[in-house]
Structure 1
Amino acid sequence: MRISALLILVALSLFASGCPKDVPPAVSLTPEQKAEQEREATAAAALDHAMQLMHDGQFLDPETALDYLDQALDLDPTLTTARYQRAGILITKERYDEALADLDYIVEHRPDYMQAHYTRGFLMLQRNDFREAAREYTKVIKADSTMAEAYVRRGLSYLNLDRADEAVDDFTNALALDPANLDANYNRGMAYMRIREFELALKDLSQAFILDSDNSRIIMARARAAMELKLFTRAAADLQRAIAMEPSRNALYALLAEALKGTDDMDGAIEALRKASALAQASGDEGMAETYRRQLEEYLDQTYP
């Protein structure tokens, strides 16, 4: 009886581990299947070589990385990561049509690949296709509502579509996520300017100035907001600061003339307009030079009737 029990235990052990006769026969691949496996393995290796050249989100040698990515996609066009990385390199080279072709392929075959939608939105902004850009960033925001930059870029799209109220909402959402976001502060200020909320615009543009006090674009925008609020002395100070950074920009002198006129400094305004006209003339912008000359004549007539 003991021997029978032992035999049963041995049999069960063999059954559990699988007897030789239970092992399925090896599947033999056709030559085509073997070739396909080899192509996929070679493509994966090329992609791996490319990714080894990446450090801190950037390729150390973009040209070599691009060669590897081209090889990978020639062998296996379905490699999503390779397509996305190639699109990124092509964008840095301003080969936007080729980059867009890669991104279009990805969003068609992998609609859940949000990085591709985000980058495609960037290209749509580059092309001034603001409706399509807004659609792409809406997809990104629905997938991840914590991306401040997605709100900023959709807000820019809305602002260019004259949907300033919606732009304000998006920039506000971005600032709730990242209060120090320079683009959100600046562009919400510009959106407030669009809807003539000048006090709010001045507040946002002043915050943007705190974040980047050497940006003449921000200083110029803040001066415009101050002028709308009849804060001419403040606007003039901002414009003089901007002129110190960009002394050859004729538009700054023209704005300074308006600000100085608001402070009743007509001599200063006249001198600023003369400078604006001379700079426009020197740069070959005859149209603006003539505009400034006509404005100068008006100022002269008002000052010395």
Structure 2
Amino acid sequence: MHTVRHSLSSRSSYRTLRLAAGFVLGLGALPAFAADTDCTWGSKAPPAELITACTAVIEQASSSPKDQSMALVVRADIRARTPGGMTQALKDFDRAIALDGKNARAYRLRGDYLRVAGGDANKAAADLSMAISLDPNDAEAYEERGVVYVTQRRLDRALADFDQAIRLKPDFAQAYADRGVAFYLRGDNEKAVRDYDEAIRLDPDRPRTFTNRGAAYKKLGQMDKALADDSEAIRRDPKVPEYYDNRGLTYAAMKEYDKAIADYDQAIKMQPKANFLTNRGDAYQYKNELGSALSDYDAALRLDPDFASTYNNRAVLFKKMGERAKALADYEAALRLNPGNENAAEGRRAMLAEIKKFGAEAPRPLNAPSERSGPSFDCATARREVEKVICADPQLSVLDLGISQGYAKLLKSSRGRAAAELRSTQRDFLSERNARFGKPGYDLRLALQRRLDTLRDAAD
């Protein structure tokens, strides 16, 4: 049920480091036309001064088309690494290629930046292929084209390119790291681990390689090694929310759901994302904290209404709550977004069969776990109209139960004035719920969910 997103080795940040470090192809310097700064590869000059120097080369009437083309590439690279400068950078690459159709570097960088900018992958691959045809010994171009092929799931072609990049440059750490991703996606997790091992040996300062190796270890069932790698990635770079999410997935696979939720909490606090919320929702569902799970799934879909995994996992929750119609609708939404989702397809078939046999709604949750799954109070003795409505709606029931459980857990850890204030706010919430229910503008479901969110935030 968990959502896993395996990633390539921090492509944009590593690309910046590689280019700023002197441009590994090492082409010769361009003629100097600026008074104090030359338009040269690997210049230490500030970006603004270097752009001025390159612009002078581009606009100088006596500059040859080849010199102008190279200056455009230098300027384009600087612009591409400047916030908001990608559009102008791509235009510079276009001009560079128009001036010199044999400028291999222009094709290589345009292809790679097209990929970084989320452009047409086919065009990116075509540019990188042209760069390779012009310079067959360019290891970087093979590696970058391999990355494009990975994004297209053309894994055999990607592996061939990574192989060639490593043949040309045996100490190419990033090529090993990215080939490891290709092996992982193909299901060759032992080969993935071997490539990650070599990438880490060559360059141990890549935290993402650790977290990617941890994902491969999870697939191999080696949870202790996965946990160690996830923790090492966090130790090396504690500012990346995906690392906490990945470790949360490892804890969840080990059925240590409280630790998983703590890591998901951290990831969400740093950057609320649909997959982080869905993963935390899954952990709550495994713990049978259905109200918290529902709240997370709903929040995930507000952030990303097209996230198929959330619909599938919320369908499982709705089935537990006995809401067959809602479960069926979510399975169908998951399939519309991802027709190849076998879990959603099987869930839809099963739900159609249950609806045919038992009807769209169940009087009590299906497949209910042994723990209590109704509201926090006894529906047989309910007298208030709001309580009767909660009892009649499984979704409201799990939210009410989640509030009760969250309040009790928080009260247990509170002392003195904090405990007194918590009791007061809970009484105020219940009083307002009872007084405002049925009045114009009052949304019971929203009120319950907000109270649940408040209690959970206080517990963080």
What is the TM-score normalised by the length of structure 2?
0.49
| Secondary structure of 1:53 counterpart | helix
- The match for 1:225 is 250
Structure of higher CA gyration radius: 1
Deviation at 1:62, TM superposition (A): 5.7
Gap change, CA 1:86 and 1:155, over 3 Å in 2: same
Question: Which has the bigger relative contact order, CA under 8 A and spacing at least 6?
Answer: 2
- 1:42 is the counterpart of 2:58: no
Matched residues in 2 for 1:147 and 1:219: separation?
28
Q: Deviations over 1:93-145 (max 9, x none)?
A: 51433332222123234321222212211211221212211111111112222
Question: Bigger CA drift: 56-65 or 271-280?
Answer: 56-65
- 1:251 is the counterpart of 2:279: yes
- The match for 1:28 is none
Deviation at 1:48, TM superposition (A): 3.4
Could you list the runs of 5+ residues in structure 1 that have no partner in the other structure?
1-40
Q: Deviations over 1:24-75 (max 9, x none)?
A: xxxxxxxxxxxxxxxxx83213213314525769576666665555455445
Matched residues in 1 for 2:216 and 2:71: separation?
46
Match of residue 121, structure 1, among 146, 156, 160: 146
Gap change, CA 1:67 and 1:223, over 3 Å in 2: closer
Matched residues in 2 for 1:228 and 1:79: separation?
50
Q: What does 1:1-305 correspond to in 2, within 5 Å?
A: 42-53=64-75, 58=80, 66=90, 69-93=93-117, 94-245=119-270, 246=272, 249-258=277-286, 261=287, 269-276=289-296, 278-279=298-299, 287-296=312-321, 297=365, 301-304=369-372
Could you tell me the percent identity over the aligned residues? 20
Q: Which structure shows the bigger proportion of residues in helix conformation?
A: 1
CA contact (8 A) 1:199 1:229 kept: no
| Secondary structure of 2:64 counterpart | helix
What is the TM-score normalised by the length of structure 1?
0.71
Matched residues in 2 for 1:55 and 1:274: separation?
46
Matched residues in 2 for 1:301 and 1:96: separation?
47
Matched residues in 2 for 1:247 and 1:99: separation?
28
Question: Bigger CA drift: 91-100 or 127-136?
Answer: 91-100
Q: Deviations over 1:156-179 (max 9, x none)?
A: 000001110000001111111222
AA matched with 2:75: L
- Number of aligned residues: 257
| Secondary structure of 1:145 counterpart | coil
| Secondary structure of 1:303 counterpart | coil
